[in-house]
A and B are shown apart, each in its own frame.
Chain A
């Protein structure tokens, strides 16, 4: 039979020679190999201190953006929920009251907005579907948790902090390039 590769070795059931029987030459060879690894650079990454770089198009946890005045951009149109292939997004819309103009950008807003992180496949379709540039995927990782119910992220976890805006310029650049 023709071998698939040229690495195949014919097995011979021969008697071991004396030098093979006393193992010592092979042992010394092995010791040399391991010692050569002693001085090699370690492959380990000390994780919390040292983070492996993410790809530019990495898609992590979602963020609900605010506009430049700090008002929520989301109008609860539901397009993201429709676009979501995993059906992870649910929301309840509400009408903006008088005096809430600072809080919500348009007359309609999302009273609750929930993403089930266990269902989410981080495909980024919600981001593509959003007409208001309200939802983006960040490079943050969804942390582990002890309880399934804690994986349903509400507005408290999704809406960005007014004072600590989430930088999503890389995602926007990607979007602009596609246009």
Chain B
């Protein structure tokens, strides 16, 4: 591969930009979440820090930093510190393969709005997300606290159960597009040719699994304030707790980006061929992608503040007896249609 300096600089800048944007968006998702929750409950939400409370995330972060950083006496100290690190690391890693926009040419250089176009992109995502549960598991186990351990066990069993359904719904997409690379999958959904119109069932399964993978309500059994006193992060304080909570929001942002890319055409939008300038077309595409992502984030929050938490047996029932058979049937049907059309 021809690695020259410009290429390296462009990629480094891209990494920094996406890292910054991800962190900024995750920061403001905490504010957004509280506002959405408040509005859905006829309240106002945070409105004291700055106009409309927009400085609230900064105040929260400042508070987190100055809290006592407590490590329990009988915990496995190195693992206790490692837990939030893994959670944060894996959460940030997945952003690298999402195509944030089409290829555009600026100042004689072609830019890929994607850090790395891996040819097994989707497998990479599924793999990294699976590692993400190690953060929760290690953190929960190292706390040496029964509540944390329960939370960790719940999180891991939930992840395993829902990853199956998620993987099966992704397989249907892969069969349709014939590629594992996210770039190709998005590029195939040009214009209004979105996968959701061919895979509505797959989309619903993927959405539910994504909610479960993010440990979001109604699947937040790993935290479960009322039963497990915060679950895996019971013993955490200060910025370690902040990392866990922050990783959850980053995960939410990334999974919304993946849903948009896989099912809702990513940066594609209807009548995009009417914009003749490819640069403008690409920039609008990026804006459109972020619009879709924010819509799904709002949907996630909307669901969280609507539904009560599932009972543990209901969670397992939904995962193993409803979603997996449905996903299998969906996969078979997709295969049959592809075979029939050949």
Contacts and interface: CB of A to CB of B under 8 A. Distances in A.
A27 B42 contact: no
Given A22-B322, A35-B302, A30 B307 contact: yes
Among A24, A30, A34, A46, find the residue whose CB has the most chain B CB atoms closer than 10 A: A34
Give chain A's interface secondary structure class: helix
A24 B204 CA distance: 10
B67 interface: no
Contact of A31 (B39, B44, B302, B322): B302
A3 B290 CA distance: 55
A37 interface: yes
A40 B39 CA distance: 8
Contact-size category for A: 10 to 19
A163 interface: no
Contact of B306 (A22, A31, A41, A44): A31
A12 interface: no
Interface of A: 21-24, 27, 30-31, 33-35, 37-38, 40-44, 46
B322 A21 contact: yes
Interface of B: 38-44, 47, 204, 302-303, 305-307, 318, 322
Contacts of A44: 42-44
B166 to A, nearest CB: 17
A35 B231 CA distance: 30
Nearest to B43: A44
Contacts of B307: 27, 30
A93 B56 CA distance: 55
A34 B47 contact: no
Contacts of A34: 40, 302, 305-306
Contacts of A21: 322
B302 A42 contact: no
Contacts of B44: 42, 44, 46
A38 B41 CA distance: 7
Contacts of B322: 21-22
